[in-house]
Amino acid sequence: MTTPALSVLDLVPVRATSDGTVQTSAQALTSSLSLAQRADELGLRRYWFAEHHNMPAVASTSPPVLIAAAAARTRRIRVGSGGVMLPNHAPLIVAEQFAALEALAPGRIDLGLGRAPGSDPVITQLLRSSGAAGDVERFPQHVQDIALMLQPDGATVQFTSGGQYQVHSTPSATGAPQIWMLGSSDYSAQLAAAHGLPYVFANHFSGHGLERALDLYRSGFQPSETLAEPRTFLTANVVAADTAEEADDRALPQLRMMARLQQNKPLTALQTVEQAKTGLAADADPAEHSLIAAMRQRWFIGDGPSVASDLSAFAARHGVDEIMLSPVAGAYEAEPLDETPGRIRTLELLAR
């Protein structure tokens, strides 16, 4: 089997300790930027930041800011969004932000676009309070608008009276970010295919509908000026450690958090490995055990060689040459709050 290229999707996790101390946003960001630097050193292909809002365990609220910081600390790896939730933002603002990023790191910027809100209904309303009410319905048009505004020639606004107005996302561009469509539904796959865009299935989120989405994308793909044939890769939740036992331990905090999310329970900062093990043994209900068991079947958890082999088989089975790892290894109580040893070790073991 051919070894797939590896990339990273980072949600910038936030964790707590047994005494109630919660990792600060500054500490969480420091640890994630260190991970980006290590990914660059290890030769990984790209490093993307997600967009989520008002979540105690997630600090990736502003992908453009994080991309700029990561680009400044890396040399060759592509950096981008996984993704910008477009209905939360005006298309011109997104185009301007990513045109500026492209100018700062030419040839290294990816703009992944998503249609989901990235939060709960209250936060979604706050994010869109100054936007148009129909932004979700206008998503396809907004994708096209951003693509045009990011080109060096800009876009032309046509008035109903017959006049025209030129719009540029930056005064003098020499290149444009690579736009990717993100999603986990038939809709996103078909939209990417119709517009001739590269597509990423968000397999790390649920994994349901993967085969159908890829088939719809590939069979319906229409070549565009920027892409002649379908291009896609997959995301995956991954924990690799020096032993399978350690990997199982480090997976538990994220597994418990995802189980709570699926049960609509209040979310908290991520537990330590010790807290997660104790809690799962003492107070988890049968539904949580069932959800965790099901997720374990879809995640990639184990020692380095076994996870690497499983990822290669997964890539071959779905015909992709790249896997974007969501490195979800949790932390032990004694590990510093501004470091992320488990996530770094995951990359080191798989990049060999």
- DSSP strands (E only) in the chain: 5-10, 46-49, 78-85, 109-114, 155-158, 164-167, 178-183, 199-201, 232-241, 300-303, 322-327
State the CATH number of the domain containing residue 72: 3.20.20.30
| 280 lies in some domain | no
For the chain, what is the domain count? 1
Looking at residue 133, its pLDDT comes to 45
pLDDT attached to residue 1: 62
CA–CA distance from 75 to each of 42, 70, 233 (Å)? 12, 10, 23
Distance of CA 225 to the CA centre of its chain: 26
Q: In 10 A of CB 309, how many CB atoms?
A: 14
Helix locations, the chain, DSSP H: 25-42, 63-73, 91-104, 121-127, 139-150, 186-195, 210-220, 244-262, 273-282, 286-298, 304-318, 341-350
Q: How many residues does the chain have?
A: 352
Amino acid letter, 36: A
Whether 198 and 181 have beta carbons less than 8 Å apart is answered as yes
Q: Is residue 138 part of a domain?
A: yes
Cβ atoms of 192 and 186 closer than 8 Å: no
Would 318 be classed as within a structural domain?
Answer: yes
SS3 string, 273-313, reads HHHHHHHHHHCCCHHHHHHHHHHHHHCEEEEHHHHHHHHHH
Domain containing residue 147: 5-242+300-350
User: Does 250 reside within a domain?
Assistant: no
Task: Let me know if residue 284 belongs to a domain.
Answer: no
In a domain, 60, yes or no: yes
**pTM greater than the 0.85 cutoff:** yes
**Which residue's entry shows tokens 């930027």?**
33
Would you write out the chain's pLDDT as a tens digit for each of its 352 residues?
A: 678 999 999 999 999 988 889 999 999 999 999 999 999 999 999 999 999 998 999 999 999 999 999 999 999 999 999 989 998 899 999 999 999 999 999 999 999 999 876 566 777 776 765 555 456 778 888 898 899 889 888 877 776 666 778 888 888 888 899 999 999 889 999 999 999 999 999 999 877 899 999 999 999 999 999 999 999 999 999 999 999 999 999 999 999 999 999 999 888 999 999 999 998 888 778 999 999 999 999 999 999 999 999 999 999 999 999 999 999 999 999 999 999 999 999 999 999 7
Burial of 141 (0-12, 13-18, 19+ CB in 10 A): exposed
In-domain check, residue 274: no
| Domain membership flag for residue 291 | no
